[in-house]
Amino acid sequence: MIGVVPAALPGPLPWLTTTFPDYLVWVVIAAFVATAALERYDRELARTVGAGAWVLFGVFWGVLFPRFAFEMRSFIEGTLSLVAVPLCVYAGYQLYSGRDSLFVLSRGVAAMGLIYVPFLTVEPLREWLVELVSVQTNAVIQLLGYDPAFTIAKENGYHSAFIFTDSTGHEYYTYLVLACTGIGSMSIFGGLIAAVRAPLRRKLRGFTLAIVIIWVLNVVRNVFIAVAFGNQWFQFFVGPVTTITGYTDPRMVSFFIADRVLSQLLAVVALVFILWLVVRDLPELLTVIEDVIYLVSGREYDLHRSIRADGGR
């Protein structure tokens, strides 16, 4: 996502939603990595450790909920993080009770963390990625005929800020953060693809397909949000939106609709579409999808059989 200066959360919440998750994520990843390692040698112990890892993962999403919902004012991410809490706990219960197919998803979460966390914690790596995506975003904005100031963001010191100025001299300031690089979505696909057991050639093909599409769509999303906010494209329902979100500046409505509503909704659709493309080449991922559907609905589906019945491979 593209960042704007957020309102401060009261009391201990800034520590709880920013510093604490940075520590907790290491514990969660270590627990999932331990689960994956133990699976080969002691499945019963791996099941117990894995159940604990899933419960910790639920706590992690619960801790992030206030940040998504109140600081970032993202109702979609806030809702998803809140829903993730009971789903993670339920996944832990199901794994502990003997649903061993969840070991695949557990390995996937471990691999996701190993891909994502270096970018989260290693400053030079994070700066390189954010600035690379920022340069590409700026290049596309320029190709479209817009010419905002492209400068260093005061919040992180990266060359990642875009400043549009209207006819009255008002500046519309946005900047890219790590979440704007698409690394989160890329780590999801990378982790899941790494977790399944399939020929390396097909795994590499599926990974390349997912990464290329995510990268391109992510740059398009960044361009859309920056330009839409800078040109105030979505100044609709200003009163209700400012009331719901708590924004004091009515000009933030365009940012909210472009980023928190349209971009995030379309991102969900895009991820589902990318998953469909990858599954066509890597049907082993259907096991993960079946488990997710079961956790959400409580119903069993044999997607492998459905695809075979439809003539798929």
pLDDT in tens, 93-140: 999 999 999 999 999 999 999 999 889 888 999 999 999 999 999 999
Domain membership of residue 18 (yes or no) is: yes
pLDDT 10s digits, 28-51 = 999 999 999 998 889 999 999 999
List CB contacts of 201: < 8 A, sequence separation 6 or more. Answer: none
∠ CA 228-233-238, rounded to 5°: 115
* Long-range pairs, 256-259, Cβ under 8 A, ≥24: 256/73, 257/228, 258/224, 258/225, 258/228, 258/229, 258/233, 258/234, 259/1, 259/2, 259/225, 259/229
Same structural domain, 144 and 260 = yes
Average pLDDT (218-225) is 96
Q: Which pLDDT score is estimated for 208?
A: 95
Q: Is 88 a catalytic residue?
A: no
Domain membership of residue 83 (yes or no) is: yes
Reported as a pLDDT band with limits 50, 70 and 90, residue 167 is confident
Q: Which pLDDT score is estimated for 64?
A: 86
Same structural domain, 39 and 106 = yes
Strand partners, 159: 152
Distance (Å, whole) CA 310 – CA 130: 43
Whether 304 and 282 have beta carbons less than 8 Å apart is answered as: no
Q: Which two tokens stand for residue 55?
A: 């419960």
List CB contacts of 228: < 8 A, sequence separation 6 or more. Answer: 234, 254, 255, 257, 258
Q: Which of 47, 73, 126, 221 is catalytic?
A: 221
Going edge to edge, which strands form the sheet with 2-3?
A: 2-3, 171-176, 159-165, 149-152
List CB contacts of 73: < 8 A, sequence separation 6 or more. Answer: 245, 246, 247, 256, 260
Domain membership of residue 308 (yes or no) is: no
Distances (CA, A) of 68 to 22, 65, 173, 179, 195: 15, 5, 20, 13, 28
Total domains present in the chain: 2
Domain membership of residue 294 (yes or no) is: no
Q: Which two tokens stand for residue 146?
A: 């817009």
Short-list 246, 225, 222, CA closest to 234: 225
pLDDT 10s digits, 253-310 = 999 999 989 998 999 999 999 999 999 889 999 989 988 988 888 888 777 666 654 5
Same structural domain, 210 and 110 = no
Instruction: Please tell me the pTM assigned to this model.
Output: 0.85
Q: Which pLDDT score is estimated for 66?
A: 83
Short-list 170, 185, 266, 262, CA closest to 225: 262
**Residue tagged 């197919």 (tokens):** 101
Q: Which pLDDT score is estimated for 159?
A: 92
Domain membership of residue 246 (yes or no) is: yes
Same structural domain, 154 and 271 = yes
**Structural domain boundaries enclosing 59:** 1-121
Same structural domain, 90 and 187 = no
Same structural domain, 127 and 276 = yes
Q: Which pLDDT score is estimated for 10?
A: 42
Q: Which of 67, 180, 251, 280 is catalytic?
A: 180
Q: DSSP labels for 197-264? A: ---HHHHHHHHHHHHHHHHHHHHHHHHHHHHHHHTTTT--SHHHHHHHH--SSTTHHHHIIIIIIIIH
Same structural domain, 128 and 241 = yes
Domain membership of residue 306 (yes or no) is: no
Greatest CA span in the chain, whole angstroms?
68
Distance (Å, whole) CA 221 – CA 55: 33
Phi, psi at 56, each rounded to 5°: -60, -35
Judged on CB neighbours under 10 Å (0-12, 13-18, 19+), 276 is exposed
Domain membership of residue 292 (yes or no) is: no
Reported as a pLDDT band with limits 50, 70 and 90, residue 7 is very low
Domain membership of residue 189 (yes or no) is: yes
Short-list 280, 290, 271, CA closest to 206: 280
Domain end point (choices 58, 91, 121): 121
Q: Is 67 a catalytic residue?
A: no
Same structural domain, 155 and 277 = yes
Q: Is 13 a residue whose pLDDT tops 70?
A: no
Same structural domain, 48 and 91 = yes
pLDDT above 70 coverage of the chain, percent: 90
Q: Which pLDDT score is estimated for 21?
A: 67
